[in-house]
Structure 1
């Protein structure tokens, strides 16, 4: 049975992605900053008939928590097949480039960028032991530099200086990570779940968490022929999913 770790998996897209992987026979470690929320999520999954899930306390902003989670999972399995870096914060709104403080940028970066770095580096050893390891960094088409520079893009006026900067930086990390792992079985991609209705956006999204979870899970389970080092948004590009950086 393949094993996956999803950060921030106690609700929203992370929770739905866990369901999608469970439906496909994966064992899922449900990462949650608050272990009680994680346990509640796992109980909900079990009530839905999914037994192969367990909660892991994991605060991506705390290296001690990240290392403790790694040690706990290492005691349970020798191999991790999938890492989904899903945990993220938006930083609150509005986010004007001339008004948002440097501290606001730092706080959001600590989760959305540095958190991804901490978790990826902590779990890379377990991932290397998998035959077909997959890393999915949950991104957003709303952080595309190309799209945000295009006045004809439908979301051109939806600017959020702090959040978009953090995810654009995470995308760059994804490119470098995929490059460093290019001669290995790894597949590493940044994947947008779409503008789905969750607590993250005050349920203003136009898509469903089911759609978002399916998109993330798809790239967590891709075969050898699948892409790596790509920015994927099937909402933006239904044909191939590939989206401009």
Structure 2
């Protein structure tokens, strides 16, 4: 008799999160599709159920302590453990408005709105911490849980320092740098418990975050996330990867 594997993907009603949920469900996971909005969440779930996949909407606003706590309680009432947690939810307020006609980002750090930076950190940095802490008992109940933080190439300090052509997006980029540090911190704590924690850079993907201007598909982007979410025992932990291998911090 096999025990059903459970996965949670945050921010999964569209884009990379939706494709990640689809891929994990197709591999046999029951996927909890985390989304703030009931209408969009249920619509996404129905689309995946139409493909014969076991997916359920989970009301989850990663910027709300109360919402995250309620979501963890809801999953705990239905599942004995959580095998995969993908912290995918992310925002970049003001990013699309700052894109020029050539698609390049045109707002320097000196003109970024502090309120936007705070909102970005609340979702992109504090959100994954909230979710990881709230769902940790369920992850520890799994024999070999995996946690994936969806980062970005813009989170790499080494790449930013060596490439003046890369977008200088202070709020979003630094939030992903912070997320990389959080990835390493959780990996160090949880390695003795058998939980592998890694950060994934899906690349510049066509999503609503960038007004669909990215050059990669969500199918390509989900590849590294799913790979890290399904690592075999003995796989890497505390790393930062794209589909081709390790990235410089």
Aligning the two structures, in what range does the TM-score lie when normalised by the shorter sequence? Answer: over 0.9
What CA distance in whole angstroms lies between the structure 1 residues aligned with 2:176 and 2:228? 18
Partner of 2:34: 31
Could you state the TM-score of these two structures normalised by the residue count of structure 1? Answer: 0.93
CA RMSD of aligned residues (A): 1.1
- Deviations for 1:110-169, whole angstroms, at most 9, x for unmatched residues? 000011111100000000010111000000012100000003x7xx34110110011111
Number of residue-to-residue matches in the alignment: 236
What CA distance in whole angstroms lies between the structure 2 residues aligned with 1:200 and 1:105? 15
What CA distance in whole angstroms lies between the structure 2 residues aligned with 1:21 and 1:101? 37
Partner of 1:41: 44
Could you state the TM-score of these two structures normalised by the residue count of structure 2? Answer: 0.92
Q: 1:174 aligns with which of 167, 170, 183?
A: 183
What CA distance in whole angstroms lies between the structure 2 residues aligned with 1:67 and 1:232? 29
Partner of 1:9: 12
Contact 1:91–1:162 under 8 Å retained in 2: no
* Structure 2: runs of 5+ lacking an equivalent: 99-106
* Structure 1: runs of 5+ lacking an equivalent: none
Partner of 2:102: none
Counting only pairs closer than 5 Å after superposition, residues 1-245 of structure 1 correspond to structure 2 as 1-50=4-53, 52-93=54-95, 94=98, 95-151=107-163, 156-234=165-243, 238=244, 241-245=245-249
What CA distance in whole angstroms lies between the structure 2 residues aligned with 1:191 and 1:109? 18
- Residue 79 of structure 1, CA deviation: 0.5
- Residue 193 of structure 1, CA deviation: 1.4
Contact 2:32–2:56 under 8 Å retained in 1: yes
